[in-house]
Amino acid sequence: AITTPDNELARRAAQDPQSLNPTDYETWYCTAYVSAICHQIQEVVRDGVAKPVRQVAESEGTILNKTTFLMTLITILSAIGSALAISNLITASVIERSQELGLLKALGALNAQIILFVLTEVMLIGFAGGVVGYFLGIGFAQVIGRTVFGSGIEIAQMVIPIVSAILFFVVLFGSVPAIRYLLKLKPTEVLHGK
């Protein structure tokens, strides 16, 4: 049965339902507490004894908590790996385009303008990758859901802003080494091929 977690009322009723006043008894009886369900089963099945098997629910809860922790850890490690990959790609791109960026600096562009230019480009590419990844992820989730569980997986709309925020910060943190390289970039050395 799908039950309501026990509270102080459920614990009192589990010890002795007759000790409750009529209002508390009605609240307890009409709520899906484990003790209330067992009491109602015993009312119907006079010669039977109904007892909750708490070990099953507790072990399921433990497995669910460990799975949630594992998924959180995988997400954090994936975000760190993504930030490192983005960092390598952006830094390599900036190094390849160092003459172009050095020329911009030599022509009077400020560091902030060049950084904004590079970050805008990176964010647009990150946004496009995020959109493609989101739809690929939904597709794979549906395939896995139908294959493993025999039903589709409901898409939570709250995930979109959360993933967007994570994507933004991963791309931003991945851009830090490239920005540091840009700040140290000297137009005279780059334009002379040093």
Burial class (CB in 10 A: 0-12, 13-18, 19+), 45: exposed
CA dihedral 37, 41, 43, 48 (to 10 degrees): -140
How do the domains of the chain map onto residue ranges? 8-44, 71-191
pLDDT of residue 132: 92
Helix (H, G, I), strand (E, B) or coil at 28: helix
Which residue did the predictor score with more confidence, 193 or 142? 142
Per cent of the chain over pLDDT 90 is 7
State the DSSP string of 179-192: HHHHHH--HHHHHT
Q: What is the rounded CA–CA span in Å between residue 139 and residue 36?
A: 43
**Per-residue pLDDT reduced to its tens digit, 5-25:** 778 888 888 888 888 899 999
What is the average pLDDT across 22-43?
87
| Side-chain half-sphere exposure of 111, counting CA atoms within 13 A | 9
Q: Is the pLDDT of residue 45 over 90?
A: no
